[in-house]
């Protein structure tokens, strides 16, 4: 295939993957109306373990499961627990069309955190994109006009922690085995929510357990397609497709949850999308020599039920069902 065909193919795979991810997020919101985030997270993570085990079983590379930097691994795991709890809580309290714009401020925050944590220097274009994105977030939140509540705080917390953890993993992840980076945060999620489960548990019908399994399955399928997309297309092209999730959120919110949208949310969302795509495309230009912290994070904002997409991409290509193509710039 030509580079253009690879990019088109990769963009199509990315769009499909982010549509699947959004479907899982819609299930999270639906289940959040009836059950505690601790209960939903526990069963979602429990169902995700066999899927991850299938992936890791084929990774025959030698090594043990002891972290080389246990302190940093513990910090990442704790932050991951807070991130997933905040994300599930935000979906329970906020319309999808309102939660997503806040979540998608994460790439902007990644750019900011990379300055002190990675020694990153950003030019005026990415700096302007960061300022623009912050204006978009303020437009969505409308401080002083809208009633900002617990859901907004949860969404902001999730975005901040996701961004910080993304840069932290970029700074330290090279020293750890991929399986170690995957397993410990998942065990932490299962342990914390499992300890809380006896205090919040509500009996669930089989259909609802099936929906929680669906959260794990959509994360797994979305991850497979996303890795294939990043291996086919340039990172900047695939990363820009993540903003299609906001369109899916609008669709699901209107169809399933009777969400309504005001002009401030629409305008703020458009500003955040423009800012994020500006950052990603700017990182994709050959003249940018610094770290491509957003596009190479290989990541949409995620709730943490399954390992991060950037970790999946570090597994051997045969485990994800694709050979590495010319677009693999990781």
Closest to 100 measured CA to CA, from 151, 143, 65: 151
Question: Looking at residue 87, what is its pLDDT?
Answer: 92
Burial of 137 (0-12, 13-18, 19+ CB in 10 A): buried
Helical axes 70-93 vs 3-32, angle rounded to 10°? 70
User: What confidence score (pLDDT) does residue 324 get?
Assistant: 43
Please indicate, yes or no, if residue 329 is contained in any of the structural domains: no
* 194 part of a folded domain: yes
DSSP letters, 225-246, are HHHHHHHHS-HHHHHHGGGHHH
CA distance 309 to 307: 6
How many angstroms from the chain centroid is the CA of residue 236? Answer: 16
**Cβ-based neighbour number of residue 135 at 10 Å:** 14
- For residue 152, is it within any domain? yes
Place of tokens 């297309």: 233
Q: What is the C-alpha to C-alpha distance for residues 258 and 250, in angstroms, rounded to an integer?
A: 10
- pLDDT at residue 258 in the model: 84
Q: What is the pLDDT along the chain (330 residues), one digit of tens a residue?
A: 677 777 788 888 888 988 898 899 999 999 999 999 999 999 999 998 887 777 776 655 566 678 888 888 889 889 989 999 999 999 999 888 788 888 887 777 887 888 887 777 777 777 787 788 778 877 877 665 556 788 889 999 998 998 888 888 777 656 677 777 778 888 999 999 999 999 999 999 999 999 999 999 998 888 888 878 877 877 667 777 777 888 888 888 888 888 877 787 788 888 887 877 777 666 655 555 454 545 455 445 566 665 555 554 555 554 445 444 434 433
Indicate whether 244 belongs to any domain.
Answer: yes
Structure tokens at 86: 């905040």
- Residue bearing tokens 């500003």: 271
Provide CB contacts within 8 A for 75, sequence distance 6+: 168
Beta-strand ranges (E) seen in the chain are none
Which of 298, 246, 253, 236 lies closest to 270, judged by CA?
246
Query: Distance between CA 287 and CA 292 in Å, rounded?
Result: 12
CB neighbours (10 Å) of residue 125? 14
pLDDT for 73 equals 86
CB count in 10 Å sphere of residue 145? 8
Spatial neighbors of 230 by CB under 8 A, at least 6 apart, are: 10, 14, 238, 298, 309, 313, 327, 328, 330
Q: What pLDDT sits at residue 323?
A: 45
Domain containing residue 80: 3-320
- The tally of domains found in the chain comes to 1
Looking at residue 188, its pLDDT comes to 92
* Secondary element (H or E) of residue 91: helix 70-93
Q: Are 229 and 238 in contact (CB under 8 A)?
A: yes
């Amino acid at each position: 295939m030509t580079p253009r065909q690879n990019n088109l193919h990769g963009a199509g795979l990315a769009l499909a993957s982010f549509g699947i991810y959004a479907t899982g997020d819609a299930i999270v919101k639906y289940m959040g109306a009836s059950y505690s985030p601790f209960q939903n997270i526990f069963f979602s993570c429990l169902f995700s373990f066999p899927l991850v085990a299938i992936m890791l079983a084929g990774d025959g590379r030698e090594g043990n499961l002891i972290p080389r930097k246990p302190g940093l691994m513990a910090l990442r795991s704790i932050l991951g627990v807070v991130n997933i709890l905040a994300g599930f809580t935000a979906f329970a309290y906020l319309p999808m069309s309102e939660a997503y714009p806040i979540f998608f401020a994460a790439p902007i925050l990644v750019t900011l955190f990379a300055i002190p944590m990675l020694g990153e220097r950003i030019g005026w274009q990415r700096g302007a994109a960061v300022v623009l994105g912050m204006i978009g977030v303020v437009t969505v939140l409308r401080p002083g006009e809208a009633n900002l509540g617990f859901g907004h705080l949860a969404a902001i917390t999730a975005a901040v922690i996701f961004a910080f953890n993304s840069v932290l993993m970029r700074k330290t992840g090279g020293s750890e085995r991929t399986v170690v980076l995957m397993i410990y945060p998942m065990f932490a999620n299962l342990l914390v929510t499992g300890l809380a489960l006896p205090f919040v548990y509500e009996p669930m019908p089989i259909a609802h357990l099936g929906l929680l399994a669906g959260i794990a399955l959509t994360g797994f399928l979305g991850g497979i397609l996303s890795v294939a997309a990043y291996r086919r297309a340039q990172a900047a092209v695939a990363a820009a497709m993540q903003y299609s999730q906001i369109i899916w959120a609008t669709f699901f919110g209107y169809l399933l949850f009777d969400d309504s949208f005001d002009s401030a949310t629409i305008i703020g969302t458009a500003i955040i999308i423009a800012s994020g795509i500006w950052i990603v495309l700017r990182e994709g230009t050959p003249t940018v020599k610094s770290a491509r912290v957003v596009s190479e994070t290989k990541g949409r904002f995620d709730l943490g039920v399954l390992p991060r997409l950037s970790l999946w991409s570090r597994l051997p290509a045969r485990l994800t069902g694709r050979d590495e193509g010319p677009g693999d710039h990781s």
